[in-house]
A = this chain, B = another copy of it.
Amino acid sequence: MNSNNVRFNEEGLVPAIVQDVRTGDVLMLAYMNEESLQKTIETGETWFFSRSRKELWNKGATSGNRQTVKQLDIDCDQDTILIQVESAGPACHLGTATCFTRESNDDLRRQRTIVQEVAKQIEKRKQS
């Protein structure tokens, strides 16, 4: 993906949905300006633009919970980015796995995670 394809809004921002590549869980939504998108593409880690602090931030720079970019896509009208990542730890600053955590959601998440673990085991056995 190239940042030239992206339609930034009047504030120069585009929403970026961050999804766990393995489980499919939606981890968070944050905003990127052109510079943070460039840095994300160049470094392979997520960089966003903080609307409150008016500055770039590298997810996990403080907490260690970095996100490694596995896939970067743009939607059909080029104004939303979807980033699939491997996350080194919880995505939310509150310490929960995702920013959308609540109990009933955890059940869905747990189901998908178990299913992924089973799939990984099957894949491993096939290869050994």
Which parts of A78-124 form the interface with B (CB within 8 Å)?
80, 82, 84, 92-94, 96, 99-102, 104-105, 108, 111-112, 115-116, 118-119
A41 at the interface (CB under 8 A from B): no
Contact with B along A3-38 (1 / 0, CB 8 A): 000000000000101010101111011000000000
What is the number of residues of chain A that contact chain B, defined by CB distance less than 8 Å? 36
A43 at the interface (CB under 8 A from B): no
A99 to B17, CA, bound (A): 13
A71 at the interface (CB under 8 A from B): yes
Contact: B76 with A99, CB < 8 Å? yes
Copies of this chain, tallied across the complex: 2
A56 at the interface (CB under 8 A from B): no
Nearest to A74 among chain B residues (CB) is B100
Contact: B108 with A84, CB < 8 Å? yes
Nearest chain B CB to A73 CB, angstrom units: 5
> In the complex, what residues of B have CB within 8 A of residue A80's CB?
29, 99
> In the complex, what residues of B have CB within 8 A of residue A76's CB?
92-94, 96, 99-101
Nearest to A19 among chain B residues (CB) is B26
> In the complex, what residues of B have CB within 8 A of residue A93's CB?
76
